[in-house]
Amino acid sequence: MGQVIADRRDVDFVLHEQMQVETLSKHDRFAEFNKKTVDLIVGEARNLAVKEIYPTMKEGDEEGCRLQDGQVTTPECFKRPWELIKEGEWVAMPEDPEWGGQGMPRTVALAAGDYLVGANYAFMMYAGLTHGAGKLIEEFGTREQKERYLRKMYAGEWTGTMLLTEPEAGSDVGALQTTAVKNDDGTYTITGNKIFISGGDHDLAENIIHPVLARIEGAPAGTKGISLFIVPKIWVNADGSLGDPNDVVCTGIEEKMGIHGNSTCSLALGSKGNCRGYLLGEENKGMRAMFLMMNEARQLVGLQGFSCATASYMNAVNYARERIQGRHLLQMRDPEAPAVPIIQHPDVRRQLMTMKVFVEGMRSLIYYAGLCHDRGCIAEDEKEKSKWEGLVELLTPIVKGYVTDKSFEVCNHGVQVFGGYGFIREYPQEQLMRDCRITMIYEGTNGIQAMDLLGRKLGMNQGKPVMDLMGEVHQTLAMAKAFEELQEPAQKLEKAVNRLGEVAMHMGASAMSPKVLNAFAFAHPFMDACGDVVMAWMLLWRAAIAAQKLSNGARKKDVAYYRGQVKSAEYFTSAFLPVTMGKMDAIMDICGAAVEMDEASFGG
C-alpha cells in the first residue's frame, strides 16, 4: 500500500479553486507567488515529505528519544531530514526574508505543512516550535536580539521552544513560580522548573533558544506580573559566537502515549544559580506577547491534528479498495458469489464518507484561516484589516479545538476500517491515532478553546467578527442556491446558521448573567455546534464551485472529483446538521445539572 499522506487533487482544489490563492500575487508583498510558484513549493514539500520524512515516522516512533549522561538524543533517522529542512529553508516559510524567512503567504505555507507535518509530525514539531520562538523574537525583540538569534533560528541551525508549563502551573499560567532577578549587566538570573517542554533538549542543533515565562522580583501576582525572557541553552556572545553552557539542565524525558520522536523534557533553570537570560519585550508584558504567538501556535496544532486525520483517511481509502472480504450485500445468499473489496460494504462506506467530509471541511477551514491572515497583511485600509484579523481571532479556537476533536474521531474511524490490522503496529493507523491525541490537550486544552470562544471571541468588537462570519456564509448560500442539486443542502445550512445566531446571542447573554456557570458548562457543545456549521459552510462552498465546474463542462478526469464534492455537502447536511440542530436545542436549555450537583455525588 503506497503512502499518500494528503490528496494532491484536494490540496490544489482548496488552494486554487476555493481560496484562489494566486490572486494574492496581485499585491506587492506576495508578487512572486503566482500559481506556478505555489505549485512548485507544494510539489517540493510533497517530495520531501514522501521520500525523506515519512520513512522516519515509524522508526522514530519505535526508537524514541533518550536521556543518557545528561545528553538527549533523537532518533538517528531524523538527522538527514533535518539537514534537508535546513537546506530547503522550510522553518520560516511565511516570515520576513530579511531574517531568513521565505515571505510566502501563510495559506501556501499551510499547504506545504499539510504534507510535511502529515509525514511525521513529531519530527516537524522541532521546526514548528523553532518558528514560533523565532516569531516572538521577531515581534518583541530588540534589533540586537534579532541579529543575535533570529537568522540562526529561521535557518534551523538553532532551534527554539516555549518554556511555559510548570508542575504547579499548567493551564493556570498565572500561578507560575519561576523567578527572574535583574543583574548589573542587564541580564537576569532565572530560577525555576518547567515541564512538558516539547523539543526541550535534543541533538539536532548546536543551540536551543528558550523563550521563558518568569516573574521578576516584586512583580504583581497572577498573569499581570509575568515577563518573557530569552534563555539560550548555550550562551551567545555579542559577536554571535557560542560561549559557555547556560545553567539549563534536562532532568527527564516524558514517556508518552504518542509523538515519541519529539523530546518532551523537564528542564531545571538555575539549579546551580547560574542561568542567565535577557528580557524579551517589556517587563510584566509576557502574557501579551504569548497571546500574539498563541493564535499561530493553536492554528499549527489544528494542522497537526488534521495531518493525522488526512493521512489516516488516505490509508483507509487505499486499504478499503484493496482488502477483499465478504460478499456484496446484494449477493449475500449466493454461496458462489465472489468476495469483494470492503469499500463496497455500506457500513465501511459510511465510515469513509464520514472521514471524507471532515477531512475536506477541515482542510478548507485551516487554509481559509491562513487566507484571512494573508488578506489582513495586504489590506488597504484599517476597516478591511480589522475584518480579516477579527475572523482569524474568531476562527482560531475552532481551528484548534473543533478540528483536533474531529481529527481524533477521523483517526478512530481509520483504525476501524482496517479492523484488527488497524490495532497492530504493522500498519500506521494506531500511531496516527496515538499521535493525534495530544493535539486536543496542548496549547490550551479544547475546553479552554471553548471557553475562549464563548468568553472572549463571541463578544469581541461588539460582535463584529461574528457578523462578518455570518456575512461570508450568506455569500456562499447565495452562490449555492443557483444550482438545483444544492437547493436542499443550502436550505439546511441556512436554517442551521440562523439558529446558531440565536444560540450565540443566548449564550453570550447567559455568560453575563447569574447562569454563567451553566453557560460555560455548555461552552464545549457550543464550540462543537459552531464547528459543525462552519464545516457545512466549507463543504457547501466547495460544492458550489464544483457544481459550477460541472455545469460548464468539466474535464473528464475531474468529473468524479467534482461530483464527490456535491455528495460531500449532501451527506454532511443530511447526516450531521440535524444532529447539530439537536445540540443547539440542548444548549439553549443550558441545563444546570452538571454545575449544581454536589461533588460527592460524582462517586469515587
Catalytic residue IDs? 443
Distances (CA, A) of 43 to 47, 112, 223: 6, 8, 44
Cell 494566486, located at residue: 22
Please tell me the distance from the alpha carbon of residue 99 to that of residue 25, in angstroms, as a whole number.
Answer: 21
Distances (CA, A) of 325 to 346, 412, 426: 13, 21, 19
Angle (CA) 309 7 420, round 5°: 45
Distances (CA, A) of 428 to 36, 54, 418, 470: 33, 11, 10, 39
Q: Give 54-84 as a 3 state SS string.
A: CHHHHHHHHHCCEEECCEEECCHHHHHHHHH
Query: Are the beta carbons of 492 and 537 closer than 8 angstroms?
Result: no
Give Cα 301 distance to the centre of its chain.
Answer: 3
Cell 543583574, located at residue: 183
Give Cα 10 distance to the centre of its chain.
Answer: 18
Give Cα 206 distance to the centre of its chain.
Answer: 28
Phi, psi of 295 (to 5 degrees): -55, -50
Please tell me the distance from the alpha carbon of residue 212 to that of residue 324, in angstroms, as a whole number.
Answer: 54
Please tell me the distance from the alpha carbon of residue 24 to that of residue 26, in angstroms, as a whole number.
Answer: 5
Q: What is the DSSP string of 103-131?
A: ---HHHHHHHHHHHHHH-HHHHHHHHHHH
